Amino acid sequence: MSAIAQLNDVAVKSMLTKTHKLLINNQWVESASGETFEVYDPSTGTVMANAAAGNEQDVNKAVKAARKAFESGHWSEMTPSDRGKILWKLADLLEENLEEFATLESLDNGKPLTIARAADVPLAVDLFRYMAGWATKIEGKTIPISVPYTPGAKYLAYTVREPVGVVAQIIPWNFPLLMAAWKLGPALAAGNTVILKPAEQTPMSALRLGDLVLEAGFPEGVVNIITGFGEDTGAPLAAHPDVDKVAFTGSTEVGKMIVKAAAGNLKKVTLELGGKSPNVVFKDADLETAIPNAASAIFFNHGQCCCAGSRLYVEQEIFDKVVAGVAEHAGNIKLGCGLDPDTDMGPLVSEEQFSRVTGFIDSGQTEGAKVATGGKRHGGEGYFVEPTVLVDTNPNMKVVREEIFGPVVTAMPFKDPEEIIPIANNTNYGLAAGVWTQDIGKAHRLASHIKAGTVWINCYNIFDAALPFGGYKESGWGREMGGDILEAYTQVKSVCVQV
Ligand code: NAI
Ligand code: MG
């Protein structure tokens, strides 16, 4: 019997049996075309739910609602304290329904329920609370000015930070709820109105979040949620002349398309794109922690992390030991359905990702890489791929240059601690990096020279709502989280008064 058939959570079951609608202007409505699309259980490849397939007409309707809500001032001119309270309420409601959200997330994405319960949902709750606190702290400055061409005149000059306006947010499927929170939290704290477009692979948690948006008391049109395919809903949002800003997380390829689409009305753009992050282990590292963490740096979330430590560089003398240790960890990872409490790693999210990742493993071998462990499909159904370690690679191979977005790491030795900086930076990406050493000077030297938005020293995959995250180079524009994200959702107005 499939895991879904055994489910006894009534709330989750009801999410699976209904055909989902779009949230526009605080109403659940059918798509303009009346069309729907199928949502798959990646552990079996079978259909588990249906959602409304939005198109340009739905986008226009949602943008109109968001524009009306923004111009009405019901949200942007609400007191910051009241705005914060509604965001906090959303966090409380999410927390109250933690188990339901964790189960939905596990079913939809394939990730272990234990992970969704411990990480995805609590991090989303925390993000909303953190951003609720910011609502009352978005401040301008008073600026002493001199104005040489008006001698003797006196001025009071100050800046205010105002919301950007109507914001489109297009998110991926690897952390569906958390990506929704990363996007919605700061945009709403700053007083913007939003159209959120979840990934077509994983719409469930965003749809359920829509119910909580209504319950939390957001005014009409402040949060709109449009499900559908990228070309039908994402593309018209990115191009829409009445959208003031687009925030995107996903592939670098689509990120570049968003930039072009946004040029029509020069809307503001922030992008959180792919990565090919180096994880560097020196021979003076504490290998007891470095080895299991090097494994989880790549295998966490099945490697479907933009910051996955996918290029593992190990100092020559300890290379064999570290590779053997990471391979052993990989071999011990139990693959299975996300809902099974014994599962360490679930399936990849979709057939498309399954083909992409297994295609990369094949291409690595064709180009001469060797499989130290893994390398194959797991089981006969669903999109499971074995945790895989590739060795004997060279810097020109596709598996070393391109983002795989699956449980596949390339392990490479290096000789000289000085040579590792250019090697680590030999990529178009710059999202994250890991450094493992007990030499504090060396650790900070690397942190300063690696071109990446986040450097983890003697740890990996550490996230917090207060800590900015984002990319150098082709990994993106702007930051998520922390106080820095608010710059992306506000604009500065200078006011100058002659006194
Ligand atoms: P994608 O970039 O196509 O999808 C991400 C989001 O963009 C989805 O909501 C999708 O519907 C939307 N989208 C697709 N085409 C669009 C368009 N023309 N205009 C506007 N929105 C559009 O990513 P996909 O195809 O799911 O995955 C492909 C690769 O992208 C992965 O193998 C991985 O390398 C990378 N990726 C990176 C992520 C990250 O966290 N940075 C997340 C997901 C994927
Ligand atoms: Mg795509």
Kindly report, residue by residue over 138-177, the tens digit of the pLDDT.
999 999 999 999 999 999 999 999 999 999 999 999 999 9
Residues 6+ apart with CB under 8 A from 231: none
- pLDDT given for residue 7 in this prediction: 85
Backbone angles phi, psi at 398, to 5 degrees: -55, -40
Average pLDDT for 186-207: 98
Cα separation, 401 vs 279, whole angstroms: 14
- Residue 317 alpha carbon to ligand 2 centre in Å: 41
The reported pLDDT for the residue numbered 238 is 98
Whether ligand 1 lies within 6 angstroms of the CB of 222 is answered as no
Pocket of ligand 1 contains residue 22 by CB under 6 Å: no
Inter-CA distances, 200 with 40, 53, 169, 226, Å: 10, 9, 14, 10
Identity at 133, one-letter amino acid code: G
pLDDT of residue 417: 86
Nearest atom of ligand 1 to the alpha carbon of 179? 40
The per-residue pLDDT for range 447-483, each reduced to its tens digit, is 999 999 999 999 999 999 999 999 999 999 999 999 9
Phi, psi (rounded to 5 degrees) for 286: -80, 100
207: helix, coil or strand? helix
Rounded to whole angstroms, the Cα distance separating 108 from 85 reads 30
- Calculate mean pLDDT across residues 371-400: 97
Q: To test ligand 1's pocket by mutation, which of 254, 305, 350 has the most ligand atoms within 8 angstroms of CB?
A: 254
Neighbours of 49 (CB within 10 A): 23
Token duo for residue 380: 């006969």
Q: In Å, what is the CA distance from 29 to each residue of 75, 195, 227?
A: 22, 14, 11
- Which residue among 183, 251, 385 is best mutated to probe the pocket of ligand 1, counting the most ligand atoms within 8 A of its Cβ? 251
Ligand 1 centroid to Cα of residue 143, in Å, is: 42
pLDDT of residue 3: 75
pLDDT category of residue 5 using cuts at 50, 70 and 90: confident
Residue 453 CB–ligand 1 contact under 6 Å: no
**Span 178-205, mean pLDDT?**
98
Name 370's bridge partners: 391
Q: How does residue 416 score in pLDDT terms, banded at 50, 70 and 90? A: confident
Any atom of ligand 1 within 6 Å of the Cβ of 230:
yes
Q: 335: closest CA among 374, 372, 308?
A: 374
Which residue out of 306, 386, 403, 480 is catalytically annotated? 306
pLDDT band at 288 (very low <50, low <70, confident <90, very high): very high
Ligand 1 pocket, residue 103 CB under 6 Å: no
Cβ within 8 Å of residue 8, ≥6 positions away: none
Cα separations in angstroms, 464 against 116, 136, 184: 16, 20, 16
- Ligand 1 center from residue 167 Cα (angstroms): 18
Residue nearest to atom 35 of ligand 1 (CA): 251
pLDDT at 401: 98
Q: Count other C-beta atoms under 10 Å from residue 415's C-beta.
A: 10
Distance in Å, CA 251 to ligand 1 centroid = 4
- Taking alpha carbons only, the member of 407, 340, 385 closest to residue 107 is 340
Please compute the mean of the pLDDT values over residues 306-328 and round it to a whole number.
Answer: 98
* pLDDT exceeds 70 at position 195: yes
> Measured from the CA of 228, which atom of ligand 1 is nearest?
11
Is the pLDDT at 398 greater than 90? The verdict is yes
List Cα–Cα distances, 443 to 49, 230, 337, 427, 468, in angstroms.
48, 41, 39, 20, 20
Tell me the pLDDT of the chain averaged across its residues: 97
| Residue 77 annotated to the active site | no
306 is catalytic: yes
pLDDT at 1: 52
How many angstroms does the Cα of residue 494 sit away from the middle of ligand 2? 40
3-state DSSP helix/strand/coil % of the chain, to nearest 5: 40, 20, 35
